[in-house]
Structure 1
Amino acid sequence: MFKKPLSNLKTSAPLRSSDRRKLKQRVITAFNLQAEDGDVLVPDGIESVKFSTHLEEPGVAYLSKEGDPLWFTIGKGSEDLIPTVYTLWKKDDLLPFLSTPQMVIPVLTGGADLMIPGVVHHTPGLPEGSLVSIHQFSLKEGKTQLSVPLAVGHMAIPSNRLTAGGTEKGKAVLVAHAWRDHLWEMGSKPDVPEDTVLGEQKPENEGAKDQEDGDEVTPVPPSEIGSGEPSQEVSYSTQEVSELLAKSLLQAISTSLSSAPPSAFPIPATLFYTNHILPSRPAFPTLVLAPSSHPDEADKIHVDPQEINIKASSHKSLTAFLKAMDKLSLLSLKQPQKHSQQPDSLVMSVNAKNPLVLGHTSFPTVRDIETKAAKKAAREEKEKQGENSHELVIRELWKPHQTIVDLFKGLGGDPSSLYTPTEVRSLIFDYVAQQGLINKADKSYIDLDELLRSPLEVKAGKGKQPQAIGDFIKRDELVKRIMAKMQNWYEVQPPGKDPVQKKGQLKPIQVVTKIRQGRKASTMITGFEPFQVIDGEEMAEDLRKACAGATSVSPTVGKAAGSSLEVLVQGKQGKAVVEYLTAKGIPKRWIDVSDLSGKK
């Protein structure tokens, strides 16, 4: 949702007392909270700001006095309040939860949804569409630990479909917001709180207390985390590690190795182990083989796949393991000859028709998780370069100018750089935090030091003293005044091309329908040149064919010769023109349509 910067970001405005009370009541009712919890999660001085996502979805964010986003909604008129990570860190049991291994978290923070094989724990009884938080599940010093919530989203499927032992595929959670995304970056970006050892703290989420009927084993609900004694170290015996390595070999043979050509062999034993067996280890080992120390808790615990290795097995050496697999006729092993320059054993072939291979049940592997992460990263990079979309990337920018230049130097910024509003805000508030300038009496105000005060002073007429500014100012008013003294720039990047930056304020393309030449209506298009992808003559010809009407091209009245053109299309063609412009990659918010022809 927020994998790209927010656009069309308006200036935040404080909520009136009555609106703040309404918002608090919505939160208390929606999440079944006590009044005191509502005061913490909807604090005094809360502000609202409107924005658009990179998909042009309108939204509203609610910010604390310090500028941290606490809640947000997506969609015009939406009443679906979603807590941010900042809010979930204040009350981490606000939502029912799912947990996922550490290796999956970077994938989620990069903008991906949580897939079914990535779920380790989950609250039972979750219907499709319910709001949930996502925690990181990890092993540290032999203890299983759960992080604070690092993402929030809606269930893509009911939770009863998550108990299929890893055989089900598809999305588990549609992630709406995650730690370190662009919504998170708007705030103060504190350090992540420490993980909680499972068994040391009992979450209080009432929605997690429902138990599923019958004897069916389900992933651990929050009400069971913390019950009883602190959890013991979970690990596999050496024999169990050997069994998992054998299953990893079966996985490799039944997938990649079964289709390998004969020319791919022989393979040195070390490379065979590194390139085929290790990547084929189960990503979630306990769902493949329950540890003997916890035979009935396979879906409640997690063992790091990295613990499955030759040194931790009963074989202790790679050669001994491969010899055992050779005896099972899973592969053919050739030992090195004495005095040979090839000291490593060679795997000469594998037996894909072995009954053990044919009866093997596939599972999600370490390679699967790593491949998905790599594909996601590549796709994100491709989108950044504009190669995966026909739509133009347009950014409104501001540059330090005149009196603001020294201010940006003092803030630690580069006065020659161009900035987005979010970057300006972050630069100012980082300086404010470092210098301790938040007003102690009212945190919605900032105490002005000499650096911040100087560029805000209003110059008086000739022979008069400049009008001094007070000792403190509202946070948003400070940002507003500083940006008002900056120079407007914009950046347009057509798909597959380098961005073009120009000075000035970018204005939308004007599509105006008027009555011309008596009672005939015509549609005029102007202001398209800055968008880099439209030629006036070409557009006139294309619209002539699309609208089956006459078109013309002429210089824009009142503009310098050769600087701007206007395209005229016969008839009321506003809809057709908008379709043409969006097909060229112009976002709809950069097209201003007006009909001045009146009703007929």
Structure 2
Amino acid sequence: MFLKPFRVKTQTSVKSSDRKKLRSDILNQYPCLTEQDVATLVPNKEEMSATKICTSGDDNVLVYSVAKNPIFYDIFKRLYPTVYTLWQFPEMLPTFRTWPPVFSKLQKGADLMLPGVIPDKRPSPKMFGNLQKGDLVTVTVAGNKAPVALGKALLSGEDMYMSALRGKGVSVLHIAGDTLWEFGDKSNPPCIPEPVPKSGEDDDGDNKEGNPNEAVGASVVADLENVKLEGDPTESVQGTSDATEVDDQSSLGAALMEGKDEGGSDEEEDEEEQRDPVAEMDERLHFCFACAIKGRVKKSELPVLTGNFLRNYMQPFSADKQLDIKKSTFKKFSKFLQLKVKEGYICMKEQSKGVDVITEIDKSHLGLRDIEVPEVVEAAVAGKGEQTEEETFTPLSFTDVYCINAATQDIFKEEGFSKGDALIVADVRQCVTNYIRNNNLHREDDKKQVTLDPVLAHIILKPAEGDLDHMNWEQVINRVMGKMQQATAIISGSGPPTIKKGKLDPIKLDVAMRASQKKVTVVDNLEDYGIDVKVFSRLVQRSLACSCSVAPSEQKNKGPQVLIQGNQINFVANVLIDKYKIPRRYVTGLDNAPKQKKKR
């Protein structure tokens, strides 16, 4: 969590009332500490601050510091002690002992493997006490009782024994040498000597050789003194160990390294750990931008929407890898483009509120001189024969139909139709006309009038109309259709139509407010029209270069809804009507679109 630099959001002093509450929370979560111990950790008069930080993994953490040394950090109301606190109370948590060479691997982000653990007792189901999965534990180095890391048990004590001490044992949360440790005074762990167990030694045997405790205990101090404080805090910390321990330590250290990456070499593991995904994404963005400016954008195509520039001009040069702005240091594409404006590559202007366009490009910029656009990428850009998932969508056709029900089936049975059949308006008119003619119901004296037989009279007459015996042709047909059940026939390609009885719910477009007064466009009922919400979400995300996600609907028995960052009603409506061929009458909420400012 703290291997990479974090960002400080706010820092405030802790009031006396907050200190009292913090002491109570510490006592509740760590009953092994006494009130006097907690008073030592959280004093009344010393300077104390609470710092809100955001880690590289976008986790919000609250760090409590006394005299500028972090003592606890809070995540979801759970307090975790730092190494500075553990050095004052080294026995407040269960401890796992390991060898000094393993310490440098833990600093790189490795988990503590069970083969690298030095047990205190003979192997038994209770060798680790009553340890449960998820319990907090500390990690020490042989020869020194001072904890060097805080972790979480990945197995219970009994499961560790049943696994024959193989596999992962502890997930390291915080370790001496990481950025949280650097947030304090960067002091070294105290040396609290302890006997160093030997490989194969009985649990009650003591190490009585010379004085190896100080040498092994001091090895961690040497490791921390070699930490490169300028640069990447995740770099390995090179340490030395006592020569008398090399044989035993090397075998256990190798077991830990093997457990972290089975089948891989140490050099490959180090290379992978040194790769920074954020730096890689930044480098990819700069390269794709340069390739797009030099080999793709034509001045005749300007101005270009910034969203289209990312999707149509930069993305093809990413070698089939997604350009994810959120995984870069810029977080937003607009910030990246603003940097390029300052460097002189492009000029931009705001076309409308929230919509930016690139108006000018400088192909003679010195930064483009050494850029060579790969031929294979250019070929891929030139060849657009492959159809995307969005392009293969077959638009649906919607037709209003009328289903024959029990009230009207007597009119249509002579035409071979039965209850439940769906007819278009023309077929309904033809069937009613044939029924009138076959039964000689048309009047000779007035061709616009129809004589009502008992069947028609029962279907179309209202109770107040009583003994009415004739009616206009159009009125008869309209009343018959009014008695039938309305439905919609949805036709996709050459397949049979899907009949949706009742009123077809339209695609609903709405604008909602989220946290920090940010707007989000909500699109409902897409699946009723045969639209894949995931494909639609990707289309919007690539076109607008904005956040777009699929979430369950807030209403029961409704399909998923699409959430789009900002007010994008106009764009979504154009895509649905022009691309997906959805009739405008089936799209509601168009009045929520942002109002266009009048040009003076």
- Report the TM-score range of the alignment, normalised by the length of the smaller protein: 0.3 to 0.5
More helix by share: 2
Task: Tell me the TM-score normalized by structure 1.
Answer: 0.41
Greater C-alpha Rg: 2
